[in-house]
A and B are shown apart, each in its own frame.
Chain A
Amino acid sequence: MFSFILRRLAIAVPTLLILVVLSFILMYAAPGGPFNSERPLPAQVLANIEAKYGLDQPFWKQIVNYVWNVVVHFDFGPSFQYEDRSVNDVIAQGFPVTLTYGFWSFLLAVVVGVGLGAAAAIKQNSWLDYLAVGISIGAQVLPNFVMAPILLLIFTLWLGWLPGGGWNGGQWEYLVMPVIALSTSYMASIARITRSSMLEVLNSNFIRTAKAKGLPMRRVIFKHALKPTMLPVISYLGPAFVGMITGSVIIDIFFSTGGIGVFFVNSAFNRDYSVIMGITILVGALTILFNLVVDILYAWIDPKIRY
């Protein structure tokens, strides 16, 4: 197990390097540049700026310098768009915001999603099942960019209960709507996966045996059925967790949270090369990390799996 983890971590390094080089090439292949504007800068002013950011260097040298600075100094460079700030600043400010609302959304999605899915499976074809399926399909078809303005309309304009956006250090009233809007579709997917997985498990031989032995239903479910049910759910949760904590541009736009999602999208539009790279590496590293966590959880849940 330990050597498996080490091996996976070792593979992560070249994976990230390939990610860096590919992103670099794609970024430069896109037309325009960080300092293009409707009012083109005089050649000399542009030359001064490019020299300042090292953009006058040959392409290969820029990549090498970039990787060197990231690896050796953990310095992702200055932002080209936000002139007085570094990429480290941008991430240090935006990521905790996203992490906070992403984490609560994840928790809500898992607790409610698994609960709904399990309840639906246990009481299959009852009113509870139909209700749960109804809710999850509803949540699935209501994307967060529709959900967000509806929440705003109800809770901010009509009821006046919640502030319509902002962050304010992450006070709870600023968290409620972003968390609801972000978690619903994940919640629906989790409920669906849990339900079908649990139905399958409940119909399997070892559950029938457990029931035949006369175990109470509660014990059958919690002791025997829940763990195997979670296998497909967990493979979904890994990428979902990364998706949630690295930000949703929709949430950031509608609730003005100042999270990292909006910086990521804007950096692509503005050709803010260093911010694009910084956030790409962050998301890439987290994806690799949580895929690894999923694999470890798999082995823990399913004794048949050996690494």
Chain B
Amino acid sequence: MTMTKRQLMASTAAVLMLTGTAGFAQNAVPEGTELAAEQTFIYRVGDESPSYDPGKVEDVDGADVVRDLFEGLYNQNEAGELVPGVALDHTVSDDNLTYTFNLRDNAKWSNGEPVTAADFEYAWKRAASPELASPYAWFIELMSLENASAVIAGEMEPDALGVTAIDDTTLEVRLSQPLPYFPQMLTHGTTFPVLQSNVEEFGSDWTRPGNMVSNGAYVMSEFVPGERLVRTRNDQYWDNENTTLDSVTKLVIADENVALTRYLAGELDRTDVPAGQFPRLSEQYPQQAMSVPEACSYYYMFNLRDNGPEEFKDPAVRNALSMAIDRDIIVDAVLAGGQKPAYYFTHWATAGFEPPTIPMADMTQEERNAEAKALLESAGFGPDNPLTVDLVYNTSESHQAVAVAISQMWKQTLGVETTLSNQEWQTFLDARGTGDFDVARGGWCADYNEASTFLDLMQSGSGYNDSKYVNERVDELLATAKTSEDPNVQYTEIEEIIAEETPVIPIYHYAAVDMLNEQIKNWPVNNFEQNWYSKDLYKVAAE
């Protein structure tokens, strides 16, 4: 594979950008700021996370904690761009398959030992090993590390994985195929180092407070599962001088309305805004209620399996159903939290993604409705022969509200009879996985900030393609995009194909809707993945 110009430029740019800031730790607090006496941050999550072991962490809330406790090769800044973490910079070989990372020599574990390249090598091999059986082992595979699949399958020893510590501060990584966004993936917890002697000393108990040795800006100081997790400053952290918050507390509060009450009572600095309450709260607390793009797309999928329902095999029927959905009503009236209507699948705010022009997006809803009627009629459905749809979604008030609104729109515009069935989560996943539905709800969140994280879902063989949509041209475009000079060419074509064939109906692009105490500053509102680092936050004195 020849190296393309774009990748060369991209990797050089990364090196320049990173070396530009290397060694100069930025202090986030502007001079003259009056800080609050107590530098604490207390926030709410809805559920306890399965694990805080970097090798196993699998959910967003867990990843937020792990990002504070451990530090990977790179971090993200306020805008989501890469900045040095343990690595200062890296170089890429001409064939784009070998990355060599240059690590800082002043990074330390919380027990004072230096962080070395060997710690990364150990952590990555551990994450891939069948012995750990991490649910996130697939991330190592997604990173295209050499021999990743064979190691996960137990066909090769973990030592065969394409990662080697050349010396204490040099880490070499070998990929099985060029991956333009490889460095972006290094801010994920799965790639963070762990200390071998610590893990081996305590076994699966190593993640408990008191046992855990970590290399991030914070250490875990208290953990009551299902209730709270407290992290406090790590005085061994290389940039501890520029860290401002002293303690960060995560409280598990299952009910979001209770959490809001406690926020308003001053017990929390951050909580989620319950569905539908954003307009009221943003009027009442304009400095605190915020809505920012969140890297997920909400969609309905059709069951396109060979043994699936016949009527949905006709693209005209699928298109008609898509056209008849008034997305503006869904985002403005039903959700009302700053979400955006979706006419294409990839989230609009994805880095480097140029939103394609989809004809439907420029039409008025009247025009769409008229075309939808015509399409459905052409497919042979009408008042005498109404189309019936079995719509499945997982139990949740907001999914239900969306489903009810859409079934109304289908009924009014097209005379479609919709049966709504909500299912408990596991039952729902089972129904979707085995094809026991006509139309099912889906939500997909980015694993990394690049359009392929969304569009890979449309690949015929993808395990996440619950529609079982097959299109050879799409597969081909997805493969070409991996090494393309400008993958937006391929991405645009894929989106156009999806708009035309409608294997899925994109409905809206998510927004994260939160209340944030206005004393907390430097929240990364422009970080699309909403990756926040407590070390970059600070609390100013109350006015």
Binding site for B on A (CB under 8 A): 30-33, 35-42, 44-45, 48-49, 51-52, 78, 81-85, 89-90, 93-94, 148-149, 152-153, 156-157, 160, 163-167, 252-254, 256-258, 262-263, 266, 269-271
Contacts and interface: CB of A to CB of B under 8 A. Distances in A.
B258 A254 contact: yes
A302 to B, nearest CB: 43
Contacts of A157: 261, 264-265
Contact of B252 (A30, A32, A49, A258): A258
A45 B426 contact: no
Interface centre among B134, B224, B424 (most CB of A within 10 A): B224
A250 B424 CA distance: 18
Contacts of A35: 135
Interface in B219-234: 224-228
A211 B164 CA distance: 94
Contacts of B262: 152, 156, 164-165
Nearest to A252: B254
B271 to A, nearest CB: 11
B48 interface: yes
B182 interface: no
Contacts of A85: 225
Contacts of A153: 261
Nearest to A256: B253
B262 to A, nearest CB: 4
Nearest to B267: A164
A164 B205 contact: no
Contact of A48 (B47, B133, B205, B464): B133
A176 to B, nearest CB: 15
Contacts of A270: 426
B463 interface: yes
Nearest to A39: B464
17 contacts: A32-B427, A32-B429, A42-B138, A42-B141, A45-B134, A45-B152, A48-B137, A78-B204, A82-B51, A84-B207, A85-B225, A153-B261, A156-B261, A165-B251, A165-B258, A256-B227, A256-B254
A166 B228 contact: yes
Contact of A258 (B154, B224, B264, B463): B224
A55 to B, nearest CB: 11
Contacts of B48: 82
Contacts of A254: 255, 258
Closest 9 CB pairs of A and B: A32-B426, A258-B227, A31-B430, A164-B262, A48-B133, A258-B226, A48-B130, A253-B254, A52-B133
A252 B210 CA distance: 27
Contacts of B47: 266
Contact of A253 (B152, B207, B255, B430): B255
Given A30-B426, A30-B427, A160-B265, 12 more contacts: A32-B426, A33-B426, A36-B430, A39-B464, A40-B433, A40-B463, A42-B138, A42-B141, A44-B153, A152-B258, A253-B255, A257-B227
A36 B427 CA distance: 10
A78 B205 CA distance: 12
Contacts of A156: 261-262, 265, 267
Given A42-B152, A152-B258, A82 B429 contact: no
A253 B204 CA distance: 28
Nearest to B423: A31
A167 B51 contact: no
Nearest to A160: B265
Contacts of B51: 82-84
Interface residues of B, number: 50
A152 B429 contact: no
A99 B262 CA distance: 25
A41 B464 CA distance: 9
Contact of A45 (B53, B135, B208, B226): B135
Given A42-B141, A48-B154, A256-B251, A84 B204 contact: yes
B207 A164 contact: no
B352 interface: no
Nearest to A162: B265
B23 interface: no
A165 B253 contact: yes
A243 B224 CA distance: 24
B227 A167 contact: yes
Contacts of B134: 45
Nearest to B49: A82
A40 B464 contact: yes
A48 B128 CA distance: 11
B20 interface: no
Nearest to A260: B226
B426 A269 contact: yes
B254 A258 contact: no
B425 interface: yes
Nearest to A266: B47
Contacts of A82: 48, 50-51, 225
Nearest to A38: B429
Interface centre among B138, B257, B443 (most CB of A within 10 A): B138
A53 to B, nearest CB: 8
Given A48-B152, A153-B261, A271-B426, A258 B464 contact: no
B509 interface: no
Nearest to A163: B267
Contact of B258 (A44, A78, A94, A164): A164
A84 B152 contact: no
A45 B258 contact: no
A15 B476 CA distance: 60
A168 to B, nearest CB: 8
B53 A84 contact: yes
Interface in B239-258: 251-255, 257-258
B424 to A, nearest CB: 7
B188 interface: no
Contacts of A149: 257-258, 261
Given A93-B224, A157-B261, A84 B255 contact: no
Nearest to A259: B226
A221 B110 CA distance: 68
Given A31-B427, A266-B47, A93 B225 contact: yes
A94 B133 contact: no
B270 interface: no
B263 to A, nearest CB: 9
Nearest to B56: A83
B540 to A, nearest CB: 23
